[in-house]
């Protein structure tokens, strides 16, 4: 089993850290993992994406031409990565700020109102954990226990008191994701 995933959005949305949690959770399950950021000069507001591969077998390339799953969190990322999803693959997107919705009919399309859900929870920073929860609802690549362990690993000690909020956000993500087609 191998999952080739791209997560793409704006810098500051937590794209890279979401990928990191996924990669660590894969590590804790004893799987092979790679985490390859498209690192750029931008920080907040620029585009950011990360390729995460979680596999039972050794991984060759950390860089891919096509993906099993694309999680896109803004219009430029949707424009860039929708066409790179393998036929039969999965697209997850947040409609916030999307003017041209996904067009393809040969893939499964899921919608997650994570921006709205984060606002409802009065915790915009939990946005990426809501998205991760949604991703794991659709593709249970790694177990919840490992994700929580990964949260402990990736969050600095001084932020560990926020783990319950992150857990809640993950749970919310599982609930709010909906299948469009």
Q: Which residues are paired to 72 by β-bridges? A: 8, 93
* Max Cα–Cα distance, the chain, nearest Å: 45
**How far is 109 from 129, CA to CA, in rounded Å?**
19
Q: Would you count residue 59 as binding other proteins (CB under 8 A)?
A: yes
The smaller minimum CB distance to other proteins, of residues 40 and 101, is found at 40
Six-digit token pair at 81? 């990565």
Please tell me the distance from the alpha carbon of residue 5 to that of residue 64, in angstroms, as a whole number: 9
Rg (CA), the chain: 15
Per CB under 8 A, contacts with other proteins among 18-47 are: 20, 23-24, 27, 32-37, 39-41
Query: From residue 152 to residue 171, what is the string marking binding to other proteins with x (rule CB under 8 A)?
Result: --------------------
Please report how close the Cβ of residue 66 comes to other proteins at its closest, in angstroms. 7
Q: Which is nearer to other proteins, 32 or 116 (CB)?
A: 32
Q: How far is it, in rounded angstroms, from Cα 144 to Cα 161?
A: 18
Which of the ranges 54-62, 117-125, 134-142, 171-179 carries the binding residues for other proteins, by CB under 8 A? 54-62
What's the min distance (Å) between Cβ of 60 and other proteins? 4
**Nearest distance from residue 63's CB to other proteins, in Å?**
5
Residues in the chain: 181
Q: Can you point out the beta strands (E) in 14-123?
A: 32-37, 47-55, 67-72, 85-93, 108-111
Closer to other proteins by CB, 39 or 124: give it: 39
Instruction: Give the residues lining the site for other proteins (CB under 8 A).
Output: 20, 23-24, 27, 32-37, 39-41, 59-66
């Amino acid at each position: 089993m191998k999952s080739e995933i791209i997560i793409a959005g704006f810098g500051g949305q937590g794209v890279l850290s979401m990928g990191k949690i996924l990669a660590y959770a894969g590590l804790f399950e004893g799987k092979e993992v790679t985490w390859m950021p498209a690192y750029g000069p931008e920080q907040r507001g620029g585009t950011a994406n990360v390729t995460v591969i979680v596999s039972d077998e050794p991984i060759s390339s950390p860089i891919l031409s096509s993906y099993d799953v694309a999680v896109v969190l803004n219009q430029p990322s949707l424009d860039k990565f929708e066409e790179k999803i393998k036929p039969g693959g999965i697209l997850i997107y947040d409609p916030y700020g999307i003017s041209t919705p996904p067009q393809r009919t040969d893939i499964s399309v899921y919608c997650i109102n994570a921006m709205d859900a984060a606002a409802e929870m009065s915790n915009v920073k939990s946005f990426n954990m809501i998205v991760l929860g949604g991703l794991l609802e659709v593709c249970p690549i790694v177990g919840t226990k490992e994700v929580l362990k990964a949260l402990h690993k990736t969050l600095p000690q001084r932020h560990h008191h926020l783990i319950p909020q992150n857990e809640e956000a993950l749970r919310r993500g599982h609930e709010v994701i909906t299948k469009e087609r």
